A and B are shown apart, each in its own frame.
Chain A
Amino acid sequence: MTTWSAHWSALGTGVAVFVDRHECLEPARRLVEDELDRIDRACSRFRDDSELSRLSRAAGRWVEVSPLCLEAVEAGLRAARLTGGAVDPTVGRSLRLLGYDRDFDELEGRAAPRLRLMAAPGWETVDVDRRRGAVRVPRGVELDLGATAKALAADLAARAVSERLECGTLVSLGGDLAIGGPAPAGGWPVRVAEHHAAGFDAPGQTISLSTGALATSSPGARRWVAPEGDRHHIVDPATGRPAREVWRAVTVAAATCVDANTASTAAIVMGEAAPGWLSDRRMPARLLARDRQVTHVGDWPAAA
Chain B
Amino acid sequence: MEGENTREAMPGGQDRDAHPVSARDRGLRRISRLTGWIAAGALVLTGGLAKLAADAFGGKSTKARAATPAPRPAPAQTTPTTPNDQGLQPPAQAPTDPGAGNGSAGSAAGTGAGTDPGASGDPGAAAGSGAGSDPGASGAGASSGSGGDSSGSSAADSGGGGAVSGGS
Contacts and interface: CB of A to CB of B under 8 A. Distances in A.
Pair from one complex: yes
Contact of B135 (A81, A128, A189, A213): A189
Contact of B166 (A5, A186, A221): A221
A30 to B, nearest CB: 12
Interface residues of A, number: 116
B119 A203 contact: yes
Interface in B51-101: 55, 58, 60, 68, 70-79, 81, 84, 87-101
B5 interface: no
Interface residues of B, number: 90
Contacts of B157: 4-7
Given A3-B134, A170-B142, A202-B118, A196 B77 contact: no
Interface string B117-154: 11110011011111110111001111111111111111
A131 interface: yes
Contacts of A192: 143-145, 164-166
Nearest to A136: B58
A175 B165 contact: yes
Cβ-closest 6 pairs across A and B: A203-B118, A189-B141, A218-B167, A174-B168, A195-B123, A196-B145
A294 B147 CA distance: 20
Interface string A220-254: 11110000000000000000000000000101011
Interface stretch (B18-26, B38-46, B103-111): B103-111
Contacts of B11: none
Given A82-B88, A203-B118, 6 more contacts: A18-B163, A191-B142, A191-B165, A197-B149, A279-B110, A282-B90
Contact of A282 (B73, B109, B146, B150): B109
B141 A204 contact: no
A5 B161 contact: yes
Contacts of B60: 124
B155 interface: yes
Contacts of A7: 128-130, 150, 154-157
B136 A1 contact: yes
Interface in A186-210: 186-200, 202-210
A195 B71 CA distance: 32
A16 B120 contact: no
A182 interface: no
